[in-house]
Amino acid sequence: MISHSIRPERLGFLALILMLAAPAFTSAQPAALKYPELPEARRAAIAQMLPAQPAGFGVPCSDRAVWASAAQYFQSSVERANTLIASPLPPWDDQAYLRYSRDGDRNEGQAMLGRHNGQLTPLVLAECSQWNGKYLPRIAEQLDAISAEKSWTLPAHDPKLLNFSGTRYYVDLAAAAEAHTVAEALYLLGDKIPADTRQRAMAALELHVFGPMRRAYAGQEDTYISWLTVKHNWNSVCHNGVTDAALTILPDRNDRALFAAAAEKWVPNYLDSFSDSGYDNEGIGYWVYGFSNYNELREHLWYSTGGKIDLYNDPHARKSALFGFQFAMLPGVYADFGDAHFTYKPDQTFLAVIDRTFGLGVYPNDLDIIRGEHSEALPAAVYAAFPNKSQRHDPGATAADLLGLRAWYPENGILVDRPAPGGDLAVTIKAGGNGNHSHNDVGSYSIALNSTQIVGDPGGPSFYIADTFSPRRYTYRLLNSFGHPVPQIDGKLQLEATTVHPTVVSTNFAPQADSIVMDITSAYDDSNLKKVLRTMKYARGVDSSVEIADSFSIAGPAEIVESFPIHGTLKQIDPKTFQIDYQDAHIQISIDAPAAFTLTQDKVDDMGNPFTRIGAKIHLATSGKVVMHFKKVAAN
């Protein structure tokens, strides 16, 4: 069935795809390339581990005995699919895709792609649940539409329009995920997919993903597929998508072994985005994105090789897996450093997956949670419904240890202070820890109260724009130090955080109180500044409190602005004290300084994250200390 959204002139293009790509599904073509970094002996060994036939997550939907019990988890997909088939499939729109190349707007093209190819998951899950053929015509229409797309790559990742124009195809985050989804759909539905639709889908997989990846493995795509070895989320996300797609659908076992060998070799680079103690330099939001893909890849390799390849056999991977538990200040409350959205928290479905894998016991009903709310991605949804009993790993610590009074990441100078049982005030502070999504925020902190972050780091963009990852990145107040809870000295903001090296001077940890002293002098370029030390003291107990003190050693007078980003409202109590109210949290901040201060309010609304930057402006005649006391109060 040909989609109404495929223009007639595209059918000739599809025929050309089929003609060019058909040889790719024999064992001869992959052998024509040389893979010097993937030894033939290892590829042959992996091939012997793999089953004769490819397989995706779960079982084919024709196995009604299994799917009859799984259908209960997908009733929302049935309802969604019924709504979708009542309206035409949204069309492809060239102008929306070209918007980024015209003016740098990422959102219109991405939204168009989401509408155009985003129906496959609910449709397939609905058909597998009902198995009455009701959704098969639209599934075929959706697959044909995806196969005919000019590009599987996001517009922002195709700035030269190489994919769009058909000049050169390469794999990005979106293409990798699309490949996995299409492959899983073909695997689940089998011969229920019309033969011509299946052929077009396989040709599109070869054109957009498998062919470019074989060239990349052979060292021919360094310019366009550089994520093979990068040390951030692209590595795990893209490796997961392309490898799992290959394991799911490629008929040749030796061909599948090539993709598995590549993932085995290069995905460990992703773990270098974590410190030795398990801190994710990309922040909590990208931990969920990147590590959930690492975990999914681990599962597929594990069961495809009968447990002979297990990415959790790496101790660094096990530490990294536990970050989502250890980084929490309070249940469900995390410092949103880096590009994490304000008040972002990992969904408990993924935490339950990790809990089950490591036997932490945090979620006693982890399997119910995993199955209870499925992902919008087809492979992840099926994986959750049919979780494999893969080997459990020793986390190296009890759940009580992981969720105890503190988490300390010494390589990054990051301290997470949690209250004693029954407490509701917590703090996270950082001396460094900036990675791929760095902000200029050396010394930043976030204070949590009850169920939210009430003051401190404002979090990252709600959406990206062309400037977000350009030389103009730090001209935005959300990303530079103006919008972070760090001092501004004589009008000067901090230097780019990835270029400086703050140090932790000392720490003192005890059951009743913790403290950390950090030297953040290197974050400033000011010839009059000799040294600035930031000290954080956290007291546990009935009256928990946070104290942050900045000691300035300056040659001559200076104007200091202490910054307090908030998403709530401000109320001044007295000349030294003001109150912040946000949702169910209320906190008073008192400032002791060598001179009186005045409060300023600046509205910041960069990239969809509006907040208020409270500034306490203090004139120092000479060196001095500014001490900020944070204490929760009742609503008034």
pLDDT digits (tens, 9 = 90+) for 465-499: 889 988 999 999 999 999 999 999 999 999 999 89
370 and 411 in a single domain? The answer is no
Q: What is the pLDDT of residue 361?
A: 85
Q: What is the pLDDT of residue 634?
A: 87
Q: What is the 3-state secondary structure (H, E, C) of 239-256?
A: HHHHHHHHHHHCCCHHHH
Q: What is the pLDDT of residue 146?
A: 98
Q: Which of 337, 370, 395 is the last residue of a domain?
A: 395
311 and 380 in a single domain? The answer is yes
458 and 417 in a single domain? The answer is yes
- Work out the mean pLDDT of the chain and round it to a whole number: 91
Spatial contact of 544 and 516, defined as CB atoms under 8 Å apart: no
Number of structural domains the chain divides into: 2
| CA geometry: angle 272, 343, 381, nearest 5 deg | 65
384 and 408 in a single domain? The answer is no
Q: What is the 3-state secondary structure (H, E, C) of 78-124?
A: HHHHHHHCCCCCCCCCHHHHHHHHHHCCCHHHHHHHHHHHCCHHHHH
Answer whether residue 7 is part of any domain. Answer: no
430 and 381 in a single domain? The answer is no
Answer whether residue 164 is part of any domain. Answer: yes
Answer whether residue 23 is part of any domain. Answer: no
Q: Which of 395, 417, 443 is the last residue of a domain?
A: 395
Strand ranges of the sheet holding 624-632, from the earlier edge strand across to the other edge: 503-509, 513-519, 529-539, 545-554, 624-632, 585-592, 577-582, 569-574
Spatial contact of 331 and 277, defined as CB atoms under 8 Å apart: no
Which residue numbers in the chain have pLDDT < 70?
A: 1-31, 389, 433
Answer whether residue 143 is part of any domain. Answer: yes
CATH number for the domain that contains residue 628: 2.70.98.70
324 and 410 in a single domain? The answer is no
Which domain does 113 fall in, by range?
41-395
455 and 313 in a single domain? The answer is no
CATH number for the domain that contains residue 288: 1.50.10.100
Answer whether residue 22 is part of any domain. Answer: no
pTM over 0.85: yes
432 and 381 in a single domain? The answer is no
Q: Which of 373, 395, 417 is the last residue of a domain?
A: 395
536 and 581 in a single domain? The answer is yes
Spatial contact of 160 and 106, defined as CB atoms under 8 Å apart: no
Q: What is the pLDDT of residue 30?
A: 52
Query: How many CB atoms are closer than 10 A to CB 18?
Result: 18
Instruction: In whole angstroms, give the CA distance from residue 419 to residue 502.
Output: 27
336 and 247 in a single domain? The answer is yes
Spatial contact of 69 and 128, defined as CB atoms under 8 Å apart: no
Maximum C-alpha span of the chain: 81
459 and 365 in a single domain? The answer is no
413 and 361 in a single domain? The answer is no
Give the three-class secondary structure for 506: strand
